[in-house]
Homo-oligomer: A and B are copies of this chain.
Amino acid sequence: MNKYIIAIDLGGTNLKIGLLDLNNKIRRKSVFNTRKYSGKNGLIRAIKTVVEIIIKEQGLHKRDILGLGIGVPGPVDSLKGIVHFFPNIPGWKEVKLASILKSELRLPVFLDNDAKMMTRAEYALGSGQGYRNILCITLGTGVGGGIIINGELYRGLDNAAGELGHLPINEDGPHCNCGGKACLEAYVGNSRIMKNAEKLFKRRISLEELSLRARKNDRLALGIWKDVGKKLGVALTAVVNTLNLDAIVIGGGVAHAGNILFDPIRETIHQRAMKVQARRVKVLRAKLVNDAGLIGAALMVKEGLKK
């Protein structure tokens, strides 16, 4: 009998639940609007219900499921399976999510932060394959990141490593939600990019339109992406010189802008990083895109069960 893994990617906007086989192929995927569920308990109940439906629908039993992996949008204690809080979903504070789901579903449950899911997935099966020391970053409302050192996910003692969004790129600058100042995220988070665009275009403009306009050589739109790319490039220069990385994998909504964004990133690193480090590092677009969260969660379950 084949075995399966349940993977969950909880985001501020979408809740994705998938069934994956042991080759990391997604057999079934459901996507819900996270905001539809009122509060923490509503969300947990929804997860439980959907997981049970998926198992039944596929003619499976609990014993066919090796475990459940869940990636969440905020800081966690991955060993104890505790969510510290979510910057963009209210009502969560020090929630023992892994043990709640475990007792509700009677399955082994593994929990980690979403940027670490993406990092695992891209490293094992995406653009990061074959490299040894990499940084993955996701560009969205927030700027998250994960680091692989010598082929292993590097966490730091508080599981808080990889917070590239909070690398300061200037001595002084705008205040950031984290309490810091001049953090990368305070310049290139989605909402900041859209605010800058609104000022220039005198109306609200989506990131998709901004990319489209840039591709059609709109000077204003190109200028915005160039500036975002330069700022990312300065932050990445810091990491490249410090860690002598082999590769940087960039994903998340904003990465869809493509070369309009990647060209100024590469150019800035090339101009500013030390020669040896600049020559070494590849700047790559994430490959697994929307499925990285689910694939990473499944990989986490397999890894967790081995220990």
Contacts and interface: CB of A to CB of B under 8 A. Distances in A.
Contact of A154 (B149, B156, B162, B171): B149
B132 A181 contact: no
28 contacts: A147-B242, A149-B149, A154-B243, A156-B244, A156-B245, A156-B280, A157-B280, A158-B244, A158-B276, A158-B280, A159-B244, A160-B244, A160-B277, A163-B244, A163-B274, A166-B241, A167-B242, A168-B237, A169-B170, A169-B171, A170-B170, A171-B230, A171-B231, A171-B234, A179-B274, A179-B275, A180-B273, A239-B242
B157 A244 contact: yes
A239 to B, nearest CB: 6
A147 B157 CA distance: 15
A196 to B, nearest CB: 15
A164 interface: yes
A272 interface: yes
Contacts of A234: 168, 171
A220 interface: no
Contact of A160 (B181, B237, B276): B276
B272 A180 contact: yes
Interface string A252-289: 00000000000000000001111111001000000000
Interface in A126-178: 132-133, 145, 147, 149-150, 154-164, 166-171, 178
- Identical subunits present: 2
Interface in A52-77: 75
A60 to B, nearest CB: 39
A160 B238 contact: no
Given A161-B244, A164-B242, A272-B168, A237 B180 contact: yes
A275 B180 CA distance: 9
Nearest to A131: B157
Contacts of A242: 145, 147, 161-164, 167, 238-239, 242
A189 to B, nearest CB: 15
A9 interface: no
